[in-house]
Amino acid sequence: MSEKYDVIVIGSGPAGYVAAIRAAQLGLKTACIEKWQDSAGKGVNGGTCLNVGCIPSKALLDSSHKYHDAKDAMSGHGISTGTVTIDVPAMIKRKDKIVKQMSGGIAGLFKANKVSSLYGTGKLLAGRKVEFTALDGAVSELEADNVILASGSVPVAIPMAPVDNEVIVDSTGALEFDSVPERLGVIGAGVIGLELGSVWSRLGSKVVCLEAMDSFLAMMDQQIAKETKKILTKQGLDIRLSCRVTGTEVKGKEVVVTYTDVDGKEQTETFDKLIVCVGRRPFTEGLLSGDCGVNLDERGLIYVNDLCSTSAPGVWAIGDVVRGPMLAHKGSEEGVMVAERIAGQKPLLNYDIIPNVIYTHPEVASVGKTEEQLKADGEPYNVGVFPFVAIGRAVAADEADGMVKMLAHAETDRVLGCHIVGPSASDLVQSVAIAMEFGSSAEDIGMTVFGHPTFSEAVKEAALAVNGHAIHMPNRKRKK
């Protein structure tokens, strides 16, 4: 007789493990299946985000930033550091230690909440049954009243740059270099490409980002995108737009990349390492049986409604495998929503207020609509922009690059979006997300007392600037 659960979750990334924990907290007998293994072949939780995504990349970003500061940014403070070197294997070892610690933390949370951890792969069968193949190859059948699919995503591969995990790598391989490549190519200047390019650029690589699109960070507010490109270019990233890679040839320990430039001319560039970062796709290989009743859309995503319910009764899907931005926090909140709905509650997720962050330095963060979206929708709006160079805390900390941009409805003053490039942008934008969740106006934020001196004062000033009331800069005249 097969094991029976109230909930089976397939995948223990940020969407899956949060769903499993919340379901268990609500008194549901819950199991979570995970296929990830560590270098010793032991099952580990956390999925892509924890093992080869969000967490390890942030560890390397932090290490590389500290190296850059110690090497190039201390003299202005009167601090002499002498000769600064980087031990890449030690940096990677630190990253691996952090991953192990965080993965162990999920295992501890599962144990505390009585979630059954099952290491191996799961395939959804008809009737909410799951074929479980353990890491040792043993196959069994499980049953559940509800199944939550949270299998995540994998890097998109392109035929003109096949990954060999030596010279040409994907985002996973870029976390495992054992030395700093002198010449580093990055195909794609999106979030992942910019973050990984920043890591190795700070450590000394000459980094060239080849982006096929003719606009930089096309999905972001373009005023912020242009400012971000200017800052990153000043830091040394060579970002080339309208450059479409047409082929690669590995020659020994280097790779020759052929691409067409903005003028349509064929060019070549030689690199010691090449990172392919052209996006991610949903991972559904081996996940669904032909008769399970779950449908995929034209992009290969699992089709769900606004509540993350699939076309099969009692089967849900969350995270990177469904529509919407591939963001860990979006998947986590979907996990909570689904677990609570299974338990009989009726929560909803506000998809209009999901922050997005790029962890370059300075950070780039946004929430809500861009100015371009508001124009396209014909929605009347006012804009407030405030630069960090006018913030005392930012100048004192040598963090004066960037700005805060606030967008509010021209008639109601309700905040419609906020876009930031600057210090602690990931944290600053969250305060605006909270305000937006409660329907705040720009005036509400402007009337709120902010501590001084703080980076967050730029948010208050941008809110004041929306209505021409900024204190620490001249206000732009309104068009009549």
Whichever domain contains 337, its CATH number is: 3.50.50.60
d(CA 391, CA 362): 15
Task: Judge whether residue 371 has pLDDT over 60.
Answer: yes
Report whether 120 contacts 35 (CB < 8 A).
yes
Per-residue pLDDT, 478? 64
Query: Three-state SS string across 195-240, please?
Result: HHHHHHHHCCCEEEEECCCCCCCCCCCHHHHHHHHHHHHHHCCEEE
Domain for residue 349, yes or no? Answer: no
Domain co-membership, 417 together with 322: no
pLDDT of residue 3: 86
CA dist 400 and 396 (Å) reads 8
The pLDDT > 90 percentage for the chain reads 98
Which whole-number Å values give the CA distances from 89 to 12, 30, 204, in the listed order? Answer: 28, 39, 15
Task: Give the model confidence (pLDDT) of 219-275 as tens digits.
Answer: 999 999 999 999 999 999 999 999 999 999 999 999 999 999 999 999 999 999 999
Q: pLDDT at residue 1 above 60? A: no
CATH value at residue 412: 3.30.390.30
pLDDT at 357 exceeding the cut of 80: yes
Neighbours of 474 (CB within 10 A): 6
Mean pLDDT in residue range 346-367: 97
Residues 37 and 150 both lie in one domain:
yes
Are 268 and 301 in a shared domain? no
**Is residue 452 flagged as an active site residue?**
yes
- 238 within some domain: yes
Instruction: List the one residue out of 114, 3, 95 whose CA is nearest residue 51.
Output: 95
Whole-number Å distance between alpha carbons of 455 and 422:
9
Asked whether residue 133 is assigned to any structural domain, the reply reads yes
Q: Residue 187 domain-assigned?
A: yes
What the block records as the tokens of 280 is: 């991610």
In angstroms, the CA 381 to CA 166 distance is: 50
Q: How far apart are CA 236 and CA 380, in angstroms?
A: 38
From first CA to last CA, the distance across the chain in angstroms is 76
Whether residue 480 is predicted with pLDDT greater than 60 in this model: the reply is no
Secondary structure of residue 61 in the 3-state scheme? helix
Looking at the fold, whether 150 and 189 belong to one and the same domain comes out as no
Q: Helix axis angle, 14-25 relative to 328-342, nearest 10°?
A: 30
In 265-378, DSSP assigns E strands to 266-271, 273-276, 280-282, 315-317, 356-358, 363-368
Last residue of a domain, one of 342, 364, 393: 342
2 pLDDT above the threshold of 80: no
Work out the angle between the directed axes of helices 191-202 and 222-235 (0-180°, nearest 10): 20
Q: Is 77 a residue whose pLDDT tops 70?
A: yes
Given a contact cutoff of 8 angstroms between Cβ atoms, the answer to whether 44 and 34 are in contact is yes
Q: What is the DSSP letter of 53?
A: S
What are the CA-CA distances from residue 400 to residues 4, 391, 432 (Å)?
57, 8, 20
Is 119 found in the same domain as 190? Answer: no
Catalytic residue among 68, 419, 452, 469: 452
Tokens of 238: 């060579």
Number of separate domains in the chain:
3
On whether both 259 and 374 belong to a single domain, the answer is: no
Q: Mean pLDDT over residues 366-385, rounded?
A: 98
Whether residues 138 and 285 share a domain: the answer is yes
Region 121-148 average pLDDT: 97
Query: Is the CB of residue 207 less than 8 Å from the CB of residue 298?
Result: no
Same domain for 69 and 88, yes or no, is yes
User: Whose CA is closest to 189, among 113, 255, 245?
Assistant: 245
Distance, in Å, from the CA atom of 82 to the CA atom of 71, rounded to the nearest integer, reads 8
Give the pLDDT of residue 477: 72
* Chosen domain end from 278, 300, 324: 278
Q: Are residues 269 and 309 both part of a single domain?
A: no
Q: Mean pLDDT over all residues of the chain?
A: 97
The amino acid at residue 428 is L
User: In 10 A of CB 42, how many CB atoms?
Assistant: 11
The amino acid present at 424, given as its one-letter code, is S
Question: Does 476 score more than 90 pLDDT?
Answer: no
303-356 pLDDT, tens digit each: 999 999 999 999 999 999 999 999 999 999 999 999 999 999 999 999 999 999
Alpha-carbon dihedral angle through residues 223, 228, 229, 233, given to the nearest 10 degrees = 150
Region 381-407: what's the mean pLDDT? Answer: 98
State both tokens at 49: 């985000």
| Residue whose C-alpha is closest to residue 53's, from 36, 68, 41 | 36
Q: Is the pLDDT of residue 479 over 70?
A: no
Query: In which domain, by residue range, is 204 found?
Result: 168-278
Q: Are 132 and 206 found together in one domain?
A: no
Q: What average pLDDT does this structure show over 405-430?
A: 98
Domain-embedded: residue 348: no
Query: Rounded distance, CA 224 to CA 357, Å?
Result: 12
Give me the phi and psi of 86, to 5 degrees please.
-120, 130
Query: pTM score, two decimals?
Result: 0.96
pLDDT for residue 466 is more than 80: yes
Instruction: Report the candidate in 80, 61, 69, 71 with the shortest Cα–Cα distance to residue 397.
Output: 69
In a domain, 210, yes or no: yes
Instruction: Please report, rounded to a whole number, the percentage of residues in the chain having pLDDT higher than 70.
Output: 99
Distance of CA 225 to the CA centre of its chain: 17
Q: Which residue, of 317, 342, 367, is where some domain finishes?
A: 342
Looking at the domain assignment, is residue 393 inside a domain? yes
Are 110 and 179 in a shared domain? no
Residues 387-391 have a mean pLDDT of 98
Alpha-helical segments (H) within 26-87: 47-52, 54-68
Q: Are residues 190 and 308 in the same domain?
A: no
Note the pLDDT of residue 13.
97
With respect to residue 475, please indicate whether it lies within any of the assigned structural domains: no
Buried-state track 116-136, b at ≥16 Cβ within 10 A, e below 16: bbbbbbbbbbeebbbbbbeee
